[in-house]
Structure 1
Amino acid sequence: MTDLSVVVPAYNEEARLRPTLDAIRAHLSADPGRWGHWEVIVVDDGSTDDTARVAREFAADEPRVHVITAGPANRGKGHALRRGVLASYGRRVLVTDADLATPVEELDRLDKELTAEGAAAAIGSRAHPESRIEIHQRRLREWLGRLGNRLIRAVAVPGVRDTQCGFKLFDGDKARAAFADSRLDGWGIDVEILRFFRQAGWPVTEVPVRWAHQEGSKVTPLDYARVLGELVRLRARTVRRTDLAVAGLFLLASVLLYRGLWADLDRAYLADAGQDQNQWEWFFAVTADNVTHLRNPLFTTAQNHPDGVNLMANTVMLGLSVPLTPVTLAFGPTVTWALVLTLGLAATACSWYWLLARRVAHNRWAAATGAGLAAFAPPMISHGNAHPNFLLLFMMPLLVDRALRLCEGRAVVRDGVLLGLLATYQIFLGEEPLLLAAVGMLLFALSYALARRDVARAAWRPLAKGLGVALAVCLPLVAFPLYWQFFGPQSYHSVLHGPNAGNGPLAFLEFAGRSLLGDEATADKLAMNRTEQNAFYGWPLVALAFAVVVRLWHLPLVKALTGTALGAALLSLGPRVRIPYTDVIVPGPWRLLADKPLFESVIESRVAMICAPVLGMLVALAADRLAASRSRTNRVVGFAAVALALLPILPTPYPVRERAAVPAFIAYGAWEHYVGPGETLVPVPLPDPGSADALHWQATTGFRFPLPGGYFNGPYGPERVGIYGPVPRHTSNLLREVRWSGRVPGIGPEWRAQARRDLEYWRAGVVVLPPQFNDAALYETVSKLLGQPGERIAGAWVWDLHRGRALPVLN
């Protein structure tokens, strides 16, 4: 049995190779009792000089030296090392560069550490605090090398300070297994091998060494960039076909759900979106306009003029709307809207799949089933009508995974920094989903702590430290945007949603309107509206989850998931819970949170969305156990039960309606003759949460005129309570009432004076009445208010306030 194999890759090393081999032989021969039977393997990697001749001449005098020719052309360090290690027989394998930048005497340190630590590999580390750098590289070269090494560590092997030092001692059998699995031919081989050891659970220790820069070194700072490129290619090659198939199926499902929208982007409008599609398209468009003109992306006066809108206090999703600015400018906000919904839903499903395959289920299709439920559950599909901030939850699995890594305590600072950065980005995607995710993770942590107190005792310290690091990273990055949100212009402190914003207990057992077996009339009675069907998991899935919990109750994970789901379901019932089929009302647990900061703005029924990934994990666990079962009967019966539970809640495609056309007066630019600098265009009725088509008009013109009114969240009254839409004014209320009732009220001097004040406040230049329901009553009302008839221009009634005798003050 060979005790030690030394592998030396060599490319054009004729000048340095002989001294290196002399030094290795001298050191190993000096203490025969320690190193026993040894061998040196020199791998000539297609050298164009006399490297091979030097190696063979040395081998002729020393039978323990073997020469391997890796090929006629240079293939790279990785290829040479793989050939050399796989040809070795040593109980231990040392790999060293031909320049001996780390002296061979440092082998003693590595051998000692490998024995003392019980490790599988000991790597020489130039970055170790106790290492001694005898000859430094040039300062710029050294700085670039350190930067490249940090990037490699962050991407591939976090926790290892020096991945690229070429002096490493391995357990022989483990080294041969790792190199046999390797694929990289270049400098990235070091990282690939270390990743293999880590994934196999084989411990690696870093050892301080002496190191001296050698002139003629073949490693340049640019090689670190090549290593990163190799790692990217390696990751691409290691993606499983199953993973690609699952991602493709998720994308296909998302496209099919939104096929009506994609079929006619110019005219299609999601039928159950209310006015939210107009609002979201406007958010995307105004962000692109602000970015293009270098304006503050946190505020605008384009709507609700002159008061404006605090965009940070609204769900503009700057984390997507800003990077998608080129798409919005090139193709329009409707394309951005459709892309965000379609790709966001698929990305969320893929992200849950990644987490479940990593931590919950070994079988990939079991993980895919659970991920599909987590992303395409009825509450998610409901929000897919109008609320992309609750549909695009692809950051949540990443946050969960990073929090779990903190509990493991292996790289607390690094994981804390990454958690802080992930949370920062999620804040710019949606703060309420982040708050709900935090509630879900807290419920899970408490439930798991009750199930495994020993794990909780070991995890709380690194978790607390990591959360502290995350806050230290996140808070400085979001301090100004959050200050602007809560204390800036048009900020507010809460949004009131009324006393019936919680779920009814029966909602969990019913089917949603967009589910395969759902009934819209039944679902409408149990939800605020069709965009807030936040439960509706259906009784078959609830029954399946109950059966899985009973069968797998011995697993701490199942106990924790059960506690999380029950806690979230109870909180989602709201502060007042009506017992089904009775008039009895009892206090709900949400009352403890309802008036607390942040929670006071949450629609409590949304807390039930936490149940979606929980149910997905339970289904994934069940499917994973069934896939591994040896009993064909168990598999058939079990998968049939899973299918019968999921089939009723399969989502159906989103219906669309034809969107109202932009009035020709707006579309063809006739408005430009009536709106001067600093003036607004006043639609009749003014845009509000119930009628926001004017936001679409404005976006199509490139925000060249401001609007009073609008659809947004803003403050009301001295307490600055959040409301939907602008602070009501008498004239806007009057026009809205006429629009919906069709009745013309008596208009006297007081109403005309009030209209004058309101139009002055709005800085109106023109009043526009497009064709619509009850437009005759609206025309008569506006004519009476302004004391003059309108002009019919480009299909709309127009009142030019510059020439109007009733409003001379506006000149």
Structure 2
Amino acid sequence: MTTAREAVAAAREAVTAPRALGLARTGRIADTLACTAYLVASLVLYRGLWAGGPAGRYLVDSGQDQHQWEWFFAVTARAVAHGENPLTTTLQNHPDGVNLMANTSMPGLSIPLAPITWLFGPAATWAIVLTGGLAATAAAWYYLISRHLVVSRPAAALGGAFCAFAPPMVSHANAHPNLAVLFVLPLIIDRLIRLAAGLRPIRDGILLGLLTTYQIFLGEEALLLASTGIALFALTYACVAPAAARAALRPLARGLPIGVALCGVLIAYPLWWQFTGPQSYTNLLHGPAGNDLAALTAYADRSLAGDIDVSARLSMNRTEENAFFGWPLLILAGAIAAALWRRALTKALVGVLVGAALCSLGPEIILDGEPTGISGPWRWFGQLPLYESVLESRFTMVCVPVLGILLALAAQAVRDAGDRRLWLSWCVAALQALLPLLPQPLASAPREPTPAFFADGTWRRFTGPDRAIVAVPLPDPSDARALGWQVDAGLGFPLAEGYFVGPFGPDRLGGYGAVTRPTSQLLREVRDGGAVPEVTEDERAQARADLAYWRADAVVLGPHANREALRATLDRLLGPGVPIDGVWLWDVRAGGAARAG
């Protein structure tokens, strides 16, 4: 039976021995080749976004999220340039504003990359964050696996590639960099391993606190998911290897409080602003969003073996294909677990895999679209603080690195066995499991041009300082093009309403978009239905009141499929508009009259 002293010695050897190997020349060459391959793979994935320059391309499957993210990058860069608070802005949802810390503005990258945004625009920042971030995520997992889990660099490279380019990661890579750019998480785990080894607990505790703080500024939801996976691993590992767990407690007890205290000090004000500042909200509610059980074994839309009809039926949308591992990979993972079951590490990884997968199924397990009547653990787990705001289907993202590590462990075990037949069998099985999952390049299309009214600066003639433009259709989660128009106008004016997360109702529950006013609701109905309504005098009075609330100087109708219906409705509400530089304009300033000349 392993004693506590032996467990500590083994943990220290696991930390120091692979590190010594990494200093070897062959190791450095392998590291360089792996990182280069990851970058090339990421560039291939985003080749459509880079074709002809990011400013002219749009990721088709991102919905309206690319508009939102480019706006986040642009407004943060503006705040840095003007010395403003990067945690809030009134450039959207004027005059109430947006709590940027309570949104996924990703200041951990949007602030340091502000010079890129200034020089090349937010579209370039968006492309760099996605492409570089996904490659960095693969490299970080490769580092963790090669330094702590396997000696074989090819085995580690395989694991790192899966961790970054698995179907759930590729799905979020369309639109959610906060859930796809995860290079800090493996570094946090690396520091926890070093802490448990007890080599330099104070230094490692400080670094852990700094890394955790930085991850909060990259994505809090990803940190919550990772923390849950780490907790599942720790609990399972403590059950299957109690001596090693007890040996790790003392150094962890020395270093963890230091990391927690440091992180708490650094993040205190931003979190205070997020949860109690202007436009903060209590939690983000949503309906049941668990994975269909059939999604675990199906293939994602962008996978080589994907079927768009199947993935559409089994997921919320193309940015939330959070499972889709395919039968062959799950069977292979089961075979690996059985072959390596004697290891405590394998048992702990399986515990995380099963626990996260069960949580992802939601409060009631659904099979191929049909409720089974069987409750999942999320029925109780999802009521915990913070977790009620998480889409439970995303818990399968915790499974991704577990599967990547199992693949790396298996490749190392096969290599160590030195059996050629076993090696050939492994290659065949791995190809059958992974080849169907290979991602296809993400779909992109030419970006719609911004109307000249915004791009050429005509808007300056019709709005004053701190006065808003009401862009029609008003920006919301279903149509956020106006955010791009505002960015191309240099963020020179605030917009009414928008696409963000903010408070709704007296309980300040989180929701997407602004609290709609009667006029914006009327215009949305016309936008979606195309029918011109009868407009009453009360609705005209309400329109004047809403414009006063928004502090608007101009109403601008941009391109839209139902543009004529929207123009007729606005004419009935506000009087005749005039065409000017690709838009229709209603000058609603006191005594204002729009002139095309």
Q: TM-score, normalised by structure 1?
A: 0.70
- The aligned counterpart of 2:329 is 541
Cα deviation for residue 759 of structure 1 reads 0.7
What does residue range 465-544 of structure 1 map to in structure 2 within 5 Å?
465-499=254-288, 501-544=289-332
The CA deviation string for residues 558-607 of structure 1, in whole angstroms up to 9 with x for no partner, is 11110000000001111222355754322211122323221111111111
The CA deviation string for residues 313-371 of structure 1, in whole angstroms up to 9 with x for no partner, is 01111111100011000000000000000000000000000011111221100110011
Q: Structure 1: which 5+ runs fail to align?
A: 1-158, 160-194, 203-233
Contact kept, 8 Å, 2:463 with 2:469, in 1: the verdict is: yes
Q: Are 1:715 and 2:467 an aligned pair?
A: no
- The aligned counterpart of 1:431 is 220
Q: Are 1:343 and 2:116 an aligned pair?
A: no
- The aligned counterpart of 1:289 is 78
- The aligned counterpart of 2:482 is 694
Indicate how the Cα distance of structure 1 residues 235 and 583 shifts in structure 2: closer, same or farther if over 3 A, else same.
Answer: closer
Output the CA distance in 2 between the equivalents of 1:201 and 1:538: 35
- The aligned counterpart of 1:773 is 561
Q: Are 1:355 and 2:144 an aligned pair?
A: yes
Q: Aligned letter for 2:208?
A: L
Q: Are 1:396 and 2:185 an aligned pair?
A: yes
What is the SS of the residue equivalent to 1:346? helix
- The aligned counterpart of 1:409 is 198
- The aligned counterpart of 2:438 is 650
Q: Aligned letter for 1:494?
A: N
What does residue range 307-322 of structure 1 map to in structure 2 within 5 Å?
307-322=96-111
Rg larger for: 1
- The aligned counterpart of 1:570 is 358
Contact kept, 8 Å, 2:279 with 2:502, in 1: the verdict is: yes
Cα deviation for residue 199 of structure 1 reads 5.2
Indicate how the Cα distance of structure 1 residues 583 and 497 shifts in structure 2: closer, same or farther if over 3 A, else same.
Answer: closer
Indicate how the Cα distance of structure 1 residues 670 and 579 shifts in structure 2: closer, same or farther if over 3 A, else same.
Answer: closer
Identity percentage over the alignment?
A: 54
Output the CA distance in 1 between the equivalents of 2:538 and 2:390: 41
What does residue range 41-440 of structure 1 map to in structure 2 within 5 Å?
240-264=28-52, 265-440=54-229
Q: Report how many residues are paired.
A: 580
The CA deviation string for residues 158-180 of structure 1, in whole angstroms up to 9 with x for no partner, is x9xxxxxxxxxxxxxxxxxxxxx
Output the CA distance in 1 between the equivalents of 2:590 and 2:437: 60
Cα deviation for residue 238 of structure 1 reads 7.7
Indicate how the Cα distance of structure 1 residues 454 and 680 shifts in structure 2: closer, same or farther if over 3 A, else same.
Answer: same
Contact kept, 8 Å, 2:364 with 2:371, in 1: the verdict is: no
Indicate how the Cα distance of structure 1 residues 692 and 581 shifts in structure 2: closer, same or farther if over 3 A, else same.
Answer: closer
Q: TM-score, normalised by structure 2?
A: 0.94
Output the CA distance in 2 between the equivalents of 1:402 and 1:240: 21
Cα deviation for residue 770 of structure 1 reads 1.5
- The aligned counterpart of 1:791 is 578
Q: Aligned letter for 2:389?
A: S
Q: Aligned letter for 2:409?
A: L
What is the SS of the residue equivalent to 1:240? helix
Output the CA distance in 1 between the equivalents of 2:398 and 2:102: 23
Cα deviation for residue 661 of structure 1 reads 1.0
Q: Are 1:731 and 2:522 an aligned pair?
A: no
Between stretches 634-643 and 274-283, larger displacement belongs to: 634-643
Output the CA distance in 2 between the equivalents of 1:598 and 1:713: 15
Q: Of Structure 1 and Structure 2, which has the larger fraction of its residues in helix?
A: 2
Contact kept, 8 Å, 2:290 with 2:391, in 1: the verdict is: yes
Q: Are 1:452 and 2:241 an aligned pair?
A: yes
Contact kept, 8 Å, 1:791 with 1:798, in 2: the verdict is: yes
Contact kept, 8 Å, 1:289 with 1:702, in 2: the verdict is: no
Q: Aligned letter for 1:343?
A: G
Q: Aligned letter for 2:340?
A: L
- The aligned counterpart of 2:6 is none
Between stretches 579-588 and 361-370, larger displacement belongs to: 579-588
Q: Aligned letter for 1:301?
A: T
Match of 2:389 among 578, 582, 601: 601
Cα deviation for residue 465 of structure 1 reads 3.2
- The aligned counterpart of 2:5 is none
Cα deviation for residue 737 of structure 1 reads 1.3
Contact kept, 8 Å, 1:579 with 1:586, in 2: the verdict is: no
What is the SS of the residue equivalent to 1:361? coil
What is the SS of the residue equivalent to 2:61? coil
Output the CA distance in 2 between the equivalents of 1:534 and 1:444: 21
Indicate how the Cα distance of structure 1 residues 299 and 198 shifts in structure 2: closer, same or farther if over 3 A, else same.
Answer: closer
Q: Aligned letter for 1:797?
A: W
What is the SS of the residue equivalent to 2:58? strand
Contact kept, 8 Å, 1:765 with 1:802, in 2: the verdict is: yes
The CA deviation string for residues 365-396 of structure 1, in whole angstroms up to 9 with x for no partner, is 01100111111010000000000011110011
Output the CA distance in 1 between the equivalents of 2:524 and 2:411: 54
Indicate how the Cα distance of structure 1 residues 236 and 476 shifts in structure 2: closer, same or farther if over 3 A, else same.
Answer: farther
Output the CA distance in 2 between the equivalents of 1:792 and 1:335: 32
Cα deviation for residue 803 of structure 1 reads 5.9
- The aligned counterpart of 2:542 is 754
Contact kept, 8 Å, 1:448 with 1:560, in 2: the verdict is: yes
Q: Are 1:675 and 2:463 an aligned pair?
A: yes
The CA deviation string for residues 250-290 of structure 1, in whole angstroms up to 9 with x for no partner, is 00000000000000323210000000000000000000000
Indicate how the Cα distance of structure 1 residues 581 and 471 shifts in structure 2: closer, same or farther if over 3 A, else same.
Answer: closer
Q: Aligned letter for 1:766?
A: A
Q: Are 1:443 and 2:220 an aligned pair?
A: no
The CA deviation string for residues 136-170 of structure 1, in whole angstroms up to 9 with x for no partner, is xxxxxxxxxxxxxxxxxxxxxxx9xxxxxxxxxxx
Q: Aligned letter for 2:72?
A: F
Q: Structure 2: which 5+ runs fail to align?
A: 1-11
Output the CA distance in 1 between the equivalents of 2:266 and 2:383: 27
- Provide the aligned C-alpha RMSD in A: 2.1
The CA deviation string for residues 401-447 of structure 1, in whole angstroms up to 9 with x for no partner, is 11112222222222111111110110101111001110000011111
The CA deviation string for residues 17-36 of structure 1, in whole angstroms up to 9 with x for no partner, is xxxxxxxxxxxxxxxxxxxx
The CA deviation string for residues 746-788 of structure 1, in whole angstroms up to 9 with x for no partner, is 11111111111111100110111122201010000011011x1
Indicate how the Cα distance of structure 1 residues 728 and 236 shifts in structure 2: closer, same or farther if over 3 A, else same.
Answer: farther
The CA deviation string for residues 722-756 of structure 1, in whole angstroms up to 9 with x for no partner, is 00011111111111111111001111111111111
Output the CA distance in 1 between the equivalents of 2:535 and 2:348: 65
Contact kept, 8 Å, 1:315 with 1:430, in 2: the verdict is: yes
- The aligned counterpart of 2:378 is 590
Output the CA distance in 1 between the equivalents of 2:370 and 2:454: 54
Q: Aligned letter for 1:290?
A: A
The CA deviation string for residues 223-266 of structure 1, in whole angstroms up to 9 with x for no partner, is xxxxxxxxxxx979786211111111100000000000000323
Higher relative contact order (CA 8 A, sep 6+): 2
Q: Aligned letter for 1:771?
A: P
Output the CA distance in 2 between the equivalents of 1:404 and 1:805: 67
What is the SS of the residue equivalent to 1:584? strand
Output the CA distance in 2 between the equivalents of 1:478 and 1:236: 39
Contact kept, 8 Å, 1:623 with 1:639, in 2: the verdict is: no
Cα deviation for residue 303 of structure 1 reads 0.5
Indicate how the Cα distance of structure 1 residues 366 and 401 shifts in structure 2: closer, same or farther if over 3 A, else same.
Answer: same
Q: Aligned letter for 2:472?
A: V
What is the SS of the residue equivalent to 1:723? strand
Contact kept, 8 Å, 2:18 with 2:147, in 1: the verdict is: no
